[in-house]
Structure 1
Amino acid sequence: MDIWEKLRLEPERHRVVALVGAGGKTSTLFALAREARAAGLTAIVTTTTHIRPHPRLPLTGETDGEKLRALVDAHGVVLCGRREPTGKLTLAAAVETCRRAADVVLVEADGAKMLPLKAPAGHEPAIPPCADAVVAVAGLDGVGQAVEAACHRPERVRALLGAGEGHLLTPADVAALLAHPQGGRKGVAEGMAFRCLLNKADTPARLQYAREAAALLAARGIESAIHSYTEEERGGLCWF
């Protein structure tokens, strides 16, 4: 349970985990599912926005709770979503229905256009009300890049940071984006655990950036974890 433990989350207490932010949500989604299954738990992976289907996980658009539970019991891990014309998946069964059908439910609740960092639009993120925990993800490969190059919704990022065009992102900016109530913490209701995952700490420089950001988050009372995925692990295709 490496990722669960790094994030100080417990599947028995944090049964519905929503992932927001950028720079590694999908990899983390499937990592959490794989670790839960390895621990003998069942899991549903779903989305309140959009997600690409996993080629080796059973896919269902089932919305009936009993039928969904039977599928989960048969397969261990199930991807629950309705296929759209684009090929991506959107929400099928309500997250609360998924919660009753599996031990843990992992929800991709935000989009970032494959960029390392973001600030949410007015309608984002789509955190389900039944979430027990929210994990805000950030990619350390955005540090040192201009906001316009590294961020989804760069105009919102600049507004939250009070930065001008061409601003080069720093570890302090990453921490500020994650901690901001209109950034990584947006939509996190009282009672939901909040964690940050500082991802792509895969070089000495990025590891140092992550440590600096983690210290700044800790000063705000926010728990974070530092991690990196191998090239093979990115996207979670190798785990199932």
Structure 2
Amino acid sequence: MLDARAITALAHERGAYAVWDLAHSAGSVPVDLNGWNADLAVGCTYKYLNGGPGSPGFLYVRSDLIEALEQPIAGWFSHANQFAMAEQYEPASSIRRFVVGTPPMLSLVGAACGIEVTLEAGIDAIRAKSIALTETFIDGISGMPEHGFTVVTPLDPAGRGSHVTLARDNALQISKALRARHLIPDFRSPNLIRFGFAPLYTTFDEVDRAIATIGSVMDSGEYLTIPASSDRVT
């Protein structure tokens, strides 16, 4: 993870805005946009906010910048008075000026449920479990040096989020073999396998079973029979 406060300050010293991508942060690590003095941030609700597939993204704009910025895609919901049916477009003075069109209500319901549970659990407890889950996984992989994996994710918990990425030759074939065993990683070219740990519902038993499955796939060598084709694995 990066020092968001320091990077934001550096951007401001150079006369630039700082825009933060919270896709892998919101819902897994503490985020303090006000404390960072961040200008803008974007993120999604389908990952660690647990909104499920298709749940909407979100935008943060620092309050003093809202009226200074323009939304390039003007939508009906961004009007100052959307029911006035005025001939001229006048953007809202609030964050609503960045809304494009009718909100996806069914998707918002799923996002709301995930956010409510996240708030109920509390980000500090979520972060503590995330660290424990990823440390358990890293320890398990490190305990199998014969399989040749390199943990490229920072070993210091302060430097990582809720992912662990492994590097190894034959990463694509290994990823496919794991998927066939119902363990679903992300493959990233050329040789990376990424595992995500959603603290709200991932259990330590599941982490132990994942480690055992990886060891079994490597011991059997079954991944060597899988073609190294470039079809999508994510």
Same-fold call, TM > 0.5? no
| Higher RCO (C-alpha 8 Å, min separation 6) | 1
> What TM-score results when the alignment is normalised by the length of structure 1?
0.26
**Bigger Rg, structure 1 or 2:** 2
Give the structure with the higher percent helix: 2
